[in-house]
């Protein structure tokens, strides 16, 4: 029986209590230092995921629309340039753009399976249940894994295309980005394959900042949601509304920083992490970086991981790029 016609089972590579332990480690490492930071993956409980879906519909937030437009215009060319037997999508989330790529790869004639990789069971179940109704000829797999540390556990059969979409690579700082690309290169192996990478492009601040600080306040609510997650998961006592959302363009690093700024001095208890932390008035907690790229930087970072560009496409406004890279 074709697995896509049965109840989809999630293959778990995450150790028991992995998310709880990782959250504690990230909080201790990020909030226990003078320049406070948290990684953006902790935005995404159910409420955070719903808020992000709202963000993707905002007129100011262009990356999602730009990526979809590129796929609509060029997915067949991508599939023809680097046909694959297996599509592996990292951080797959809702997989809403995935059908555009699946259709193109199926038309190219070689696609046999799709592997969705995410840390969220609910995202994997929802996305793959939807896909299973429309792609009964494909083997669909859902893998609960951390793409930053567990790529070596993913399927290695046949020719693979690894899709890393949504500009998510921009959330990794340079050293982590370099290590991630090396791991992708190792996953692709010697049997051929490709990486399809979505990246935001450097734009003037007057275009970028509104995309991360919309006037309707959805992004602000999304940003503060990380504090709600810490309250729920670690028993913290953050006064969520005592932090204002700030988005700034760091020109030196060429990335957007999202921050939460304390509107008053306060102490916060985080018993689940064994911490008590102090915020001065106007002190910032950095919750996300979103790096933007120039074409030459994309090429250089891929080359450092022994990947060469086989094709690159942009949206009509040249705000976003999708790059197809192959091992050399």
Alpha carbon separation from 320 to 83, 199, 230 (Å, rounded): 23, 6, 33
Tell which phi-psi region holds residue 193, choosing left (phi > 0), alpha (psi between -120 and 50) or beta: left
Q: How far apart are CA 39 and CA 196, in angstroms?
A: 24
- The per-residue pLDDT for range 172-182, each reduced to its tens digit, is 999 999 999 99
Confidence of residue 7 (pLDDT cuts 50, 70, 90): very low
Pair 74, 104: CB distance under 8 Å: no
- Return the pLDDT at 8: 61
Q: Is the pLDDT of residue 6 over 60?
A: no
Confidence of residue 125 (pLDDT cuts 50, 70, 90): confident
What does the pLDDT average to over 222-229? 98
235 belongs to a structural domain:
no
Pair 120, 19: CB distance under 8 Å: no
What does the pLDDT average to over 34-49? 94
236 belongs to a structural domain:
no
Determine the straight-line distance between the first and last CA of the chain, rounded to whole angstroms.
38
Q: What is the domain count for the chain?
A: 1
- Return the pLDDT at 191: 67
144 belongs to a structural domain:
yes
Q: Which CATH number goes with the domain that contains 197?
A: 3.40.50.150
What does the pLDDT average to over 143-171? 92
What does the pLDDT average to over 46-50? 92
- Return the pLDDT at 5: 45
Confidence of residue 136 (pLDDT cuts 50, 70, 90): confident
Q: Estimate the share of the chain in helix, then strand, then coil, as percent rounded to the nearest 5.
A: 40, 25, 30
Residues forming beta bridges with residue 113, ordered by sequence position? 86, 139
239 belongs to a structural domain:
no
Q: How far apart are CA 239 and CA 222, in angstroms?
A: 15
pTM for the full model?
A: 0.94
Pair 214, 55: CB distance under 8 Å: yes
195 belongs to a structural domain:
yes
274 belongs to a structural domain:
no
Q: In terms of residue numbers, what domain contains 104?
A: 60-203+292-327
What does the pLDDT average to over 105-119? 91
Q: Is the pLDDT of residue 122 over 90?
A: no
250 belongs to a structural domain:
no
Q: What does the block give as tokens for 112? A: 């046999």
Pair 182, 305: CB distance under 8 Å: yes
Q: Is the pLDDT of residue 171 over 70?
A: yes
117 belongs to a structural domain:
yes
């Amino acid at each position: 029986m074709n697995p896509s016609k049965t109840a989809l089972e999630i293959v778990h590579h995450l150790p028991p209590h992995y998310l709880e332990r990782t959250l504690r480690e990230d909080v201790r490492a990020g909030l226990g230092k003078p320049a406070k930071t948290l990684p953006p993956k902790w935005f995404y409980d159910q409420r955070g995921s719903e808020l992000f879906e709202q963000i993707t519909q905002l007129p100011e937030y262009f990356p999602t629309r730009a990526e979809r437009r590129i796929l609509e215009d060029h997915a067949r060319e991508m599939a023809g340039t680097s046909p694959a037997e297996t599509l592996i999508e990292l951080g797959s989330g809702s997989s809403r753009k995935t059908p555009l790529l699946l259709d193109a790869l199926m038309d190219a004639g070689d696609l046999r399976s799709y592997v969705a990789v995410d840390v969220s069971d609910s995202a994997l179940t929802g996305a793959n249940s939807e896909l299973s109704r429309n792609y009964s000829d494909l083997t669909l797999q859902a893998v609960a894994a951390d793409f930053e540390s567990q790529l070596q556990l993913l399927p290695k059969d046949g020719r693979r295309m690894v899709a890393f979409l949504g500009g998510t690579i921009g959330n990794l700082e340079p050293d982590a980005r370099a290590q991630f690309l090396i791991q992708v290169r190792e996953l692709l192996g010697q049997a051929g394959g490709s990486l399809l990478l979505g990246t935001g492009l450097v734009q003037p601040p007057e275009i970028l900042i509104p995309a991360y600080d919309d006037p309707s306040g959805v992004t602000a609510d999304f940003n503060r949601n990380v504090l709600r997650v810490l309250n729920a998961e670690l028993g913290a006592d953050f006064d969520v509304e005592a932090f204002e959302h700030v988005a700034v363009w760091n020109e030196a690093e060429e990335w957007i920083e999202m921050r939460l700024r304390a509107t008053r001095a306060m102490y916060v208890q985080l018993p689940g992490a064994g911490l008590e932390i102090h915020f001065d008035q106007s002190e910032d907690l950095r919750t996300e970086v979103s790096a933007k790229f120039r074409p030459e930087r994309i090429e250089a970072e891929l080359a450092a991981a022994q990947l060469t560009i086989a094709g690159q496409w942009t949206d009509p406004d040249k705000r976003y790029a999708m790059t197809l890279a192959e091992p050399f």
